[in-house]
């Protein structure tokens, strides 16, 4: 067996695992890996901050379902990656962070940039490990990919001391292959019990969580829904897992990113079949109200998710697609023919009675009008990314998504600044797709330096900024404390010009103040991104102190009791 540099073996493993693009920043403690990347065929984008690298790898992984890779050197490079690891862990996204490290013999001597990144990363990874022997490295990387993909997907980290990286090992990539990933199949008896409960219900609802999207279960879900005639609602992470223009779509329930009619529908249901959903608190609100008298079936690929928030009436450990396939087969065996037409008609009536208005012509522009224009302008094949704040809440409430993996949102961790690097990752995963980032004026500034990456490597996308010149979500939350403190970021005195920031990075942008200008600006941005092959900003000035409609589940009960 030939002897080759160990980092060459690592790069060959990356390539065989389907990695064609990596995001990182070279430094002294990781240069042997960079030496091996030369001429490998794997594209590398030099980032401006290691957190940006993790979010790019995250966006790349969310889009194509593979494991995204971020690279950094020792010390602060690794600590800068922690936010990205946490974001990926929270949303079940498989990424691999590779960090350089000081020489093994120096780790106990407080060497320059020597930090125990493995211990730091453990709480926000599925697995974090430091290589001790060069001969281990190909197997450590194979195992990292297996772990990242297995069960509930998530992030992993491998730390590489510089002396280990410099060695040679015996390795023949021609006889190597990725480790198998098994997905749990459901116990047939539990599937049959789930069908029993479903058929006994008068107003059942399927709740599609992020596990439907990650498990590539959207087609199986649609087949089950149409075969049985059961309505399907989505969580924020499940958005796109079921077409929003489908007659059986039951909207998104919750206390923030939700529709009023969807809350009403959920609260009237008597059974919920939850698929790959975590029951996050922004979805459930008051658990007593959320649970009510309805029964719950909870299907999840990760056993420890069952019962974590509340005990379901029936828990099933399974891959979502495998469960739905078996559920459909069980329904066919029984020739099940439930009649929920009255229930579906009731949902249609609620949707008609409880809309949220979006056709505002006011100036300053109201946020719902922005999303009306987005929905009408962009086709169902466009990819969207959005992060955290009032604009995310408005997006969840108003923006429509029809295909899985086309609506990317950092739902649980919610790091500001996620949009720009994530959009880069999405575009690198789908070079021919139209990619759009919906961003707030404050979040825009957190990782704005990554615009330089997009400009350097010709990565075009459109940023739609909702600018209220305020920390809108925090200001809205502060009203509960009777204060309005430290949320004004003084655009009027500092004079921050976001269009000029774009231009400073070799990009372009425009500012919109009238609702009638939005459509024309989106058309210009599309053409400008194609012309320049770089990011383009459409900055939309909205109401300065606008609030997003949200509240507790208990509020929803009061609101909808009077609906006929």
Residues 6+ apart with CB under 8 A from 117: 74, 78, 79, 99, 101, 128, 157, 159
Residue labelled with tokens 């490998």: 40
In this structure, the number of other CB atoms found within 10 A of the CB of residue 238 comes to: 30
Helix 260-268, helix 553-560: angle, nearest 10 = 90
Contact 154, 93 (CB under 8 A): yes
Domain ranges for the chain: 3-175, 188-353, 367-541
pLDDT at 560: 47
In this structure, the number of other CB atoms found within 10 A of the CB of residue 562 comes to: 6
pLDDT of residue 564 exceeding 50, the answer is no
Q: 220-240 pLDDT, tens per residue? A: 999 999 999 999 999 999 999
For residues 132-161, one letter each, b for 16 or more C-beta atoms within 10 angstroms of the residue's C-beta and e for the rest, the string is eebbebbebbbbbbbbbbbbbbbbbbbbbb
CATH no. of 3-175? 3.40.50.970
Q: 82-138 pLDDT, tens per residue? A: 999 999 999 999 999 999 998 887 778 777 667 899 999 999 999 999 999 999 999
Section 510-518 average pLDDT:
94
Q: 385-423 pLDDT, tens per residue? A: 999 888 888 888 899 998 999 999 988 877 889 999 999
Q: 167-200 pLDDT, tens per residue? A: 999 998 889 999 999 999 999 999 999 999 999 9
The superfamily CATH assigns to domain 367-541 is Thiamin diphosphate (ThDP)-binding fold, Pyr/PP domains (3.40.50.970)
Handedness of CA 382, 387, 391, 392 (dihedral sign): positive
Section 482-507 average pLDDT:
81
pLDDT of residue 557 exceeding 70, the answer is no
Q: 42-96 pLDDT, tens per residue? A: 999 999 999 999 999 999 999 999 999 999 999 999 999 999 999 999 999 999 9
Distance CA(231)–CA(253), nearest Å, equals 13
pLDDT of residue 475 exceeding 90, the answer is no
pLDDT of residue 241 exceeding 60, the answer is yes
**Mean pLDDT value across the chain:** 91
Say which CATH topology domain 188-353 has.
Answer: Rossmann fold (3.40.50)
Distance CA(143)–CA(2), nearest Å, equals 22
Distance CA(372)–CA(389), nearest Å, equals 19
Domains 3-175 and 367-541 share a fold: yes
């Amino acid at each position: 067996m030939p002897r080759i540099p160990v980092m060459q073996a690592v790069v060959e493993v990356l390539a065989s695992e389907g990695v064609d693009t990596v995001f990182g920043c070279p430094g002294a403690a990781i240069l042997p890996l960079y030496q091996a990347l030369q001429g490998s065929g794997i594209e590398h984008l030099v980032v401006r901050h290691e957190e940006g690298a993790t979010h790019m790898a995250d966006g790349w992984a969310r889009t194509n379902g593979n494991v995204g890779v971020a690279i950094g050197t020792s010390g602060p490079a690794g600590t800068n990656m922690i936010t990205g690891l946490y974001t990926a862990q929270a949303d079940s996204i498989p990424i691999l962070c590779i960090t350089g490290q000081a020489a093994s013999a120096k780790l106990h001597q407080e060497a320059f940039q020597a930090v125990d990144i493995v211990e730091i990363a453990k709480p926000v990874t599925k697995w974090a490990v430091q290589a001790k022997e060069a001969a281990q490295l190909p197997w450590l990387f194979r195992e990292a990919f297996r772990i990242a993909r297995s069960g509930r997907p998530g992030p992993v980290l491998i730390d590489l001391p510089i002396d280990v990286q410099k060695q040679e090992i015996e390795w023949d990539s021609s006889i190597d292959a990725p480790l198998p990933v098994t997905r749990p199949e459901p116990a047939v008896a539990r599937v049959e019990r789930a069908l029993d409960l479903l058929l006994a219900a008068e107003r059942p609802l399927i709740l599609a969580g992020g596990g439907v999207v990650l498990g590539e279960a959207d087609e199986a879900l649609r087949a089950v829904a149409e075969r049985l005639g059961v309505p399907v609602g989505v969580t924020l992470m499940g958005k796109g897992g079921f077409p929003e223009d489908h007659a059986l779509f039951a909207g998104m329930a919750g206390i923030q990113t939700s529709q009023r009619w969807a809350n009403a529908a959920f609260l009237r249901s008597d059974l919920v079949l939850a698929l790959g959903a975590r029951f996050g608190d922004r979805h459930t609100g008051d658990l007593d109200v959320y649970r009510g008298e309805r029964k719950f079936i909870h299907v999840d690929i990760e056993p420890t998710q069952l019962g974590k928030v509340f005990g379901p009436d029936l828990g099933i450990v399974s891959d979502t697609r495998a469960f739905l396939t078996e559920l459909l087969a069980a329904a066919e065996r029984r020739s099940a023919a439930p009649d929920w037409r009255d229930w579906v008609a009731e949902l249609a009536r609620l949707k008609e009675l409880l809309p949220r208005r979006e056709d505002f012509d006011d100036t300053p522009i109201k946020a719902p009008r922005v999303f009306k224009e987005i929905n009408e302008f962009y086709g169902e094949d466009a990819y969207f990314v959005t992060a955290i704040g009032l604009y995310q809440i408005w997006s969840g409430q108003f923006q429509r998504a029809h295909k899985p993996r086309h609506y990317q949102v950092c739902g649980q961790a919610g790091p500001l600044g996620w949009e720009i690097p994530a959009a880069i990752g999405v575009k690198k995963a789908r070079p021919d797709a139209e990619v759009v980032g919906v961003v707030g004026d404050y979040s825009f500034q957190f990782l704005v330096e990554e615009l330089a990456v997009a400009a350097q490597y010709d990565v075009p996308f459109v940023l739609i900024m909702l600018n209220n010149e305020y920390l809108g979500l925090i200001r809205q939350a502060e009203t509960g404390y009777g204060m309005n403190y430290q949320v004004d970021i003084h655009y009027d005195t500092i004079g921050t010009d976001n269009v000029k920031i774009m231009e400073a990075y070799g990009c372009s942008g425009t500012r919109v103040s009238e609702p009638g200008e939005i459509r024309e600006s989106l058309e210009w941005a599309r053409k400008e991104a194609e012309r320049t092959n770089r990011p383009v900003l459409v900055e939309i000035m909205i109401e300065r102190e606008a609030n997003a409609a949200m509240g507790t589940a208990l509020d929803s009960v009061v609101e909808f009791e009077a609906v006929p």
